[in-house]
Amino acid sequence: MIIIGERVNATRKSIRTAIEQKDADTIKDEIAVQDAAGAHYIDLNAGTGSGELQQEKDDLCWLIDLALECTAKKLVLDAASPQVLKYAAEHLDGRRPWMLNSITGELGRESLEIIELASQYQVPLIALAMDRDGIPPEADKRLTICEAILGEAEKRGLAAKLIFFDPLVIPVSTDSNQARVTFQTIFRIGELFPGAQTTMGLSNISHGLKKRSLINAAFLTSAICFGLSSAICDPTQKSMQRAVIMGNLLAGRDKFCRKYSRAVRTGLFEGRL
C-alpha cells in the first residue's frame, strides 16, 4: 500500500502563507512529520492562486529543494499546468524518483502534454476518472474514461503500470450509493487494466457529515479490500495508519498478520479508536 502524503498543498492556508513568505521551517516540518509517519511519497503543490505561472514554477522548485534537504522519500509534482510540471521536472529529474499529479479524462491539449511528459521521463502519472462533465455517478462511465486515458497513454509510450487511476469520490451525504460505486470502480480497474494502479483522496466521502475521520478510515479499509493500491491522505493521523494496517490485514496483504501484530505491540491501537 503506497501512501502519498498530502499536507504540503497550497490550498491549505498555512501552507499558502508559508510559500508566500518563504517560511522554509514550516514546510520542512510538514514534510518531516509525514516522512516519520510512513509516507512513501510527499506531494508538493504550490498553486497559491496568484495566477502567475512563473511564480508557481519558482515556488514548486523551492518546495522541491526543501524536500530534497529534509527527506529521502519520493516526490509528487502536483500542478494543473503542463508548463509548471515541465519546469519542475527539469529541476528535479535525476535527483529523486517522482510522479506527476494529475490529468483528467477530458484529454485536451494540456492533459496530453502531461501524458507526454510522463512518457518522456517514464514516471508514474495520476489520472482522474472524470471528464468535462465532471465525475460520473456510475462506475461504467468512470471505467470508460479510464480506458480512454490508458489508450492515449499507451499510444505515447506510457505503460499501464505507470498509471495510477483515481476512481474519485462523491460524498455519501449527497448519494448514499457512492462509496459502493467507488469500490466497484477500483475492483474493475484491476480486472480490466492489468498492471494499472489505483489511488485516491479520502476526505470527500465524508463531506457534510460529523465524525468524518471515522468515515474516512472505514472507507480506506474497505477500499484496500477492493484492491486500492495507494491513498492520498494525511499519514500523521492515527486513524489513517490504523485503517491501512487493517485494510492490508483483511485484504490478504499482511503475511501471517505480522504488520498488524507489530502495530499492536507498538501501541498503534491503544487509546481512542
Q: Is 35 within 8 Å of 42 (Cβ atoms)?
A: yes
pLDDT tens for residues 116-125? 999 999 999 9
Cell representation of residue 59 = 515556488
pLDDT-based confidence at 48, cuts 50/70/90?
Answer: confident
Q: Please calculate the CA angle 148-105-212 and round it to the nearest 5 degrees.
A: 125
**Cα distance between the two ends of the chain:** 21
Give the CATH number of domain 2-265: 3.20.20.20
Q: How far apart are CA 67 and CA 27, in angstroms?
A: 8
pLDDT-based confidence at 113, cuts 50/70/90?
Answer: very high
Q: How far is CA 261 from CA 63, 191, 196, in A?
A: 37, 31, 30
Mean pLDDT, residues 30-58? 95
pLDDT-based confidence at 157, cuts 50/70/90?
Answer: very high
pTM given for the model? 0.96
